[in-house]
Amino acid sequence: MFNEAKKDEEFDSSNLVIFLYKWRKPLFIVLVATMFCSWFFSLPLFITPKYKSTVILFPASSSSVSKALLSEKGGKNDDLTSLGESEQAEQLLQILNSNKIRDRVIRKFNLMEHYGIDSTSQYKISKLYKEYENNIGFRSTEYLAVEISVYDEDPQMAAVIANTIADLLDSTKNDMQRQRSVAGFKIVEAEYKSLDNEIKAIVDSLVTLGSLGLNDVDYQSQVLNQQMAIAIMNGNRTAQVALQKKLDILGKYGGIYMMLKNSLEFKTEQLTLLQAKYKEARVDAQSNLPQKFIVSDAYKAERKSYPVRWLIIVVSTLSALFMAIIVIMVMEKIVNYNAHKKFKLEQS
């Protein structure tokens, strides 16, 4: 049985060789015709060549500017000069694919006119976005970098668009971060000003009490009591009356003075801590740092990248040969079937 299968395999293989040899002339004609047609119809007359420009960049770390520059607790992850990781690369890709950057690029370069899209068309926006996606792409490289690729009929335009997108990445991400940092800064600023006003009010109250002779309640109470005892021992009535007035003021306002003094110490410590947060929040709200490290800027390409004519010729030729073989085999089967059917009819 194994020998029979082997014979069948050899038979099938020999049949294929015989088949190809039998139809060599038509297949050769298809081969030559397809190669010529694919070469001819891939000329710039039919397919407009496009040039490719790319920008390679690494994401910057997402550390806070204030933590990196002002905070004493900043760690190695807060270094502004460190490269970002895969998470930051994915964030950049999401921003690059956002409509914020897409719409700004479309407006800046008037891509609807540049791509030759009819502005009166019912589906002009859909066509524009599709053309944008076909010509502009972003991907993450194997080294955690981000690649911006732009195809265009004008090699200079391709380079300018690619570099512009890289620039827009900074402003777009900074704007997104600033919205949150500005809101945080306003909260800290309001709290800081409120606490500062409270401290000023306490200081004003202490100044008023100071005008009544209250400066150091504990010390003054001890001294006045000693002087009162001496006046009583000496029978100095005038001194007793004067000292009693001071003791009455001390008794009336001494508790308030001590409360305000303790509150002032506590709130001053709070203000010192809040002042540090205030400075950090203000730096974050006003910062405008680059969000990436450019490895390779886009430049004007000297050779076209699309279409790849040799690939078109090879794929077209192989596809045409395959289809020609299939068609010929089907035709042979039909001819053989009709001949066999006719033979049976003649025999009957």
Please say whether the beta carbons of 228 and 244 come within 8 A: yes
Residue in 281, 292, 294 with CA at minimum distance from that of residue 65: 281
How do strand 136-140 and strand 51-59 relate by DSSP bridges? unpaired
Six token digits for residue 223: 């001294």
331 or 67, higher pLDDT: 331
Q: What is the CA radius of gyration of the chain?
A: 44
Dihedrals phi, psi of 150, to nearest 5 degrees: -130, 125
Q: How far is CA 341 from CA 106, 180, 327, 328, 334, in A?
A: 67, 83, 21, 20, 10
Look up residue 334 and give its DSSP letter. Answer: H
DSSP tag of 77: G
CA distance 332 to 212: 123
The tens digit of pLDDT for each residue in 184-243 reads 888 888 988 899 898 899 888 877 776 776 676 666 666 667 776 776 777 777 776 776
Residue 79 pLDDT: 54
Q: What is the pTM of this model?
A: 0.63
Pair of tokens at residue 147: 């690649």
Give yes or no for a cis peptide into 155 (omega within 30° of 0). Answer: no
pLDDT of residue 321: 86
More confident residue, 260 or 266: 266
How many Cβ atoms from other residues are within 10 Å of residue 195's Cβ? 17
Q: At 52, which helix (H) or strand (E)? A: strand 51-59
pLDDT digits (tens, 9 = 90+) for 304-346: 776 667 777 888 888 888 898 888 888 878 877 777 777 777 7
22-26, 161-165, 193-197: range with lowest mean pLDDT: 22-26
Average pLDDT, the chain: 79
Q: Which whole number is the average pLDDT over 51-68?
A: 77
Note the pLDDT of residue 146.
92
Cβ partners under 8 Å of residue 111, min gap 6: 105, 128, 131, 132
Per DSSP, 84 falls in state P
Among the four given CATH numbers 3.80.10, 3.30.1890, 2.40.30, 1.10.10, the one describing domain 51-182+289-296:
3.30.1890
In contact, 97 and 138? CB cutoff 8 Å = yes
The tokens for 286 are 């006003």
CB 4 within 8 A of CB 10: no
- Alpha helices, DSSP H only, in 23-154? 24-41, 65-69, 86-96, 99-109, 111-114, 124-135
Angstrom distance (rounded) from CA 64 to CA 71: 10
CB 240 within 8 A of CB 231: yes
